Amino acid sequence: MIPILSALVDRNTWTIVAIPLISLLHDYERRLSTLRIPYHIFKDGHLNVYTTPSLILVSSDLAVRQAFRSAVKSAHAIKPVGRFIYDEGQLAVTDSDYRNPLRDAQEFRCVDAPLIIMTGTAPPPSVPIMAERFGLVSPYLIARGCTDRPELCLILETQRSVGDILSRTVELVNDFLETMANDERIMIFVPTLAAGQSIAECLYTTLYSGDKEITPDRNTIYDDWIAGTHKVIVGTSALYAGNDYPHVRMVIFAGTPGDMTGTFQGITRAGRDGTMSHCYILPTKHAKAKFNGYGVTDYAGNAKIVALCNNTPITCLRFQFTHWCDHAGVLCKDSNNGLGVKCSSCLALAGKPIPSWIRPPVSQIIPAEKRLQVIGSSAITCRSDFGAAVNAAEEYRQKRTGWIQPIVDTFQFGFDLFKGLCTLCNTTWHPLEQCPKTGRQTVKLLRLYLKQYPFPSKEEKKNWGSICFHCHLPQLPGDLVHEEFSRERGLCRHPDFMLGLWLRLNLNKQLVQKAYREVGLKQNDEWAWLVARPLPTLQDTSLPKYVSNFVYLIIWYLNFIQSTL
């Protein structure tokens, strides 16, 4: 509600909210529409200062792209940005390994205005990392509250096989469905798509996931659940955050969850109306924690959630979760002045003597100085400091993408030269399969073969980018040639551009030989060479930035065409 309130109170400035999850964005839309509060979802283009509502929602992917920055800067010159708000900010720490826009989150603030990062699950050690990830300039203010939810009944059951977890989940749901009110709902979280599909099938409901092939229309699935068409929703971690439906009475983790932070997010979907709700964790036998690498801090709590599921010695579940999130744990007996619901661990320990070798935990409160804390100088951050943060973000972006510009210029030349044209036959654009200068089977085989290039590691993807598996354009850092997350072929803005150029080049055998000499073909197998990564040469020691020899070859060909004009 913080972004909504700020937009209502200050209508003369923009309130821009970056949202990193589709489910969360959809929930914003639902709540704002219900409250009849005007808002605008930024997709592309510009912001009309006279017709666009003051509250702007933007996905975290778009929030770091040039189109967004340009639109905001233009609008800011007429109507100032009052504040940038980033919801679920902990994802910039926990999920940035596989989502580059989260790693580049500091580029979100593109004009001099305050940046507010919201999260309900940020353990204290992760806060400095989060501040660095968002480019906060000292001093910055931290406001922290206790994460305890007294109305939640936390239940950890015995470890089971996957099949037994399925049976137990169905049993719990069917028992509860008999007594549920019409407005009450159930959420089930699964660790794998396979488990989710099995449970959804047994319960005659739907699976909510980030996989578009399995869940082609997530919004409809979510809306049907809200409306009560299906009172049970099965979801992957894609549904952990972004759901504030007030009457979720039961949450079930059907299998050992992946980490503490995500698990607590999922648990706190329950009981948002303040009524007692049950949260079950059904751990898998012999579960192992995800290994992040030697020397890598486990900010998400991959190992901690496995330890909680083992629960040896038996320890209050509420204490374990609140201690993880706040570094100040709360026992069930002290929750809400003793009125909190007892967890399964506390019920199991009730009336039993504590062994002398076990030191029982003691409830703690967050110290006053930690609830409202200024990091750095005690002076409140002024607008000049916001400008310093913007400059730092711009320097970061230039460093990250500066080497890309020559490549961007080369591709932009090609896009302009062949605008509206087939790059193979130079006539009005048509799908390459329909081009008279090639055959459908040739194009099909070429598409399949070029998908065999070695997928980049996390570090390589961070530094050099990746390749679109549909159109084969490079997805370079900064999304200046091709956006990173265009998983559907229909979303590619330049389909068949690359394949058409390669086929066009191969019509001139002498030029092909010249190209291969100059780009350093050293293998007899042309196809294996095309999907391989370029090897550095004395002339250019940084060739791996081009992602694959196929991309490198097309860049060479575009430069050759440009030199002949």
The C-alpha atoms of residue 148 and residue 365 are separated, in whole angstroms, by 11
On the CB side of 558, CA atoms within 13 Å amount to 25
Structure-token pair, residue 136: 């906060």
Structure-token pair, residue 421: 């044209």
Q: Tell me what pLDDT residue 468 has.
A: 86
* Least confidently predicted of 246-250, 279-283, 294-298, 528-532: 294-298
| Greatest mean pLDDT range, 16-20, 45-49, 519-523, 537-541 | 16-20
pLDDT (mean) for 447-463: 77
Does 381 have pLDDT greater than 50?
no
Question: Hey, do 2-145+372-381 and 152-363 end up sharing a CATH topology, with the first three levels equal?
Answer: yes
Tell me which residue of 181, 199, 182, 177 sits closest to 190, measured CA to CA.
Answer: 199
Q: Tell me what pLDDT residue 533 has.
A: 77
pLDDT (mean) for 487-499: 76
pLDDT (mean) for 456-478: 78
CATH (one of 3.30.930.10, 2.60.34.10, 1.10.150.530, 3.40.50.300) for 2-145+372-381: 3.40.50.300
Does 296 have pLDDT greater than 80?
no
Does 97 have pLDDT greater than 80?
no
The DSSP annotation for 247-282 comes to: TEEEEEEES--S-HHHHHHHHTTTTTTSS-EEEEEE
Q: Tell me what pLDDT residue 224 has.
A: 92
CATH (one of 3.30.70.141, 3.40.50.800, 3.40.50.300, 3.30.70.1290) for 152-363: 3.40.50.300
Does 7 have pLDDT greater than 70?
yes
Alpha helix positions (H), 328-439: 344-349, 368-371, 383-401, 405-417
Does 378 have pLDDT greater than 60?
no
Structure-token pair, residue 563: 């030199």
Alpha helix positions (H), 250-382: 260-267, 302-310, 317-326, 344-349, 368-371
C-beta atoms surrounding 194 within 10 Å? 10
Q: Tell me what pLDDT residue 325 has.
A: 93
Given pLDDT bands bounded at 50, 70 and 90, which one contains residue 54?
very high
Given pLDDT bands bounded at 50, 70 and 90, which one contains residue 519?
confident
pLDDT (mean) for 44-73: 86
* Least confidently predicted of 57-61, 135-139, 197-201: 135-139
Q: Tell me what pLDDT residue 545 has.
A: 64
Q: pTM, whole model, 2 decimals?
A: 0.78
The C-alpha atoms of residue 61 and residue 91 are separated, in whole angstroms, by 13
The C-alpha atoms of residue 480 and residue 65 are separated, in whole angstroms, by 8
- Which residue do the tokens 């666009």 mark? 52
When comparing pLDDT for 12 and 378, which is higher? 12
One-letter amino acid of 390: V
Over the chain, what is the mean pLDDT? 86
When comparing pLDDT for 442 and 476, which is higher? 442
Q: Tell me what pLDDT residue 176 has.
A: 94
pLDDT (mean) for 62-66: 85
Q: Please report, to the nearest 10 degrees, the dihedral formed by the alpha carbons of residues 428, 430, 434, 437 taken in order.
A: 40
Does 2 have pLDDT greater than 90?
no
Segment (H or E) for 488: none
Does 386 have pLDDT greater than 80?
yes
Given pLDDT bands bounded at 50, 70 and 90, which one contains residue 382?
low
Does 40 have pLDDT greater than 60?
yes
Q: Tell me what pLDDT residue 72 has.
A: 93
Residues ≥6 apart with Cβ < 8 Å to 162: 195, 255, 284
Q: Please report, to the nearest 10 degrees, the dihedral formed by the alpha carbons of residues 454, 458, 463, 468 taken in order.
A: 50
The C-alpha atoms of residue 410 and residue 542 are separated, in whole angstroms, by 17
Residues ≥6 apart with Cβ < 8 Å to 34: none
- Which residue do the tokens 């488990």 mark? 195
Task: Encode pLDDT of 349-359 as tens digits.
Answer: 987 777 766 77
Given pLDDT bands bounded at 50, 70 and 90, which one contains residue 217?
confident
pLDDT (mean) for 93-119: 85
Does 489 have pLDDT greater than 70?
no
The C-alpha atoms of residue 37 and residue 217 are separated, in whole angstroms, by 25
Cα-flanking dihedrals φ and ψ of residue 82, to 5°? Answer: -80, -35
Does 84 have pLDDT greater than 90?
yes
The C-alpha atoms of residue 281 and residue 41 are separated, in whole angstroms, by 36
Given pLDDT bands bounded at 50, 70 and 90, which one contains residue 486?
very low
Distance of CA 418 to the CA centre of its chain: 34
Does 244 have pLDDT greater than 90?
no
When comparing pLDDT for 287 and 55, which is higher? 55
Give domain limits for the chain.
Answer: 2-145+372-381, 152-363, 402-564
Does 492 have pLDDT greater than 50?
yes
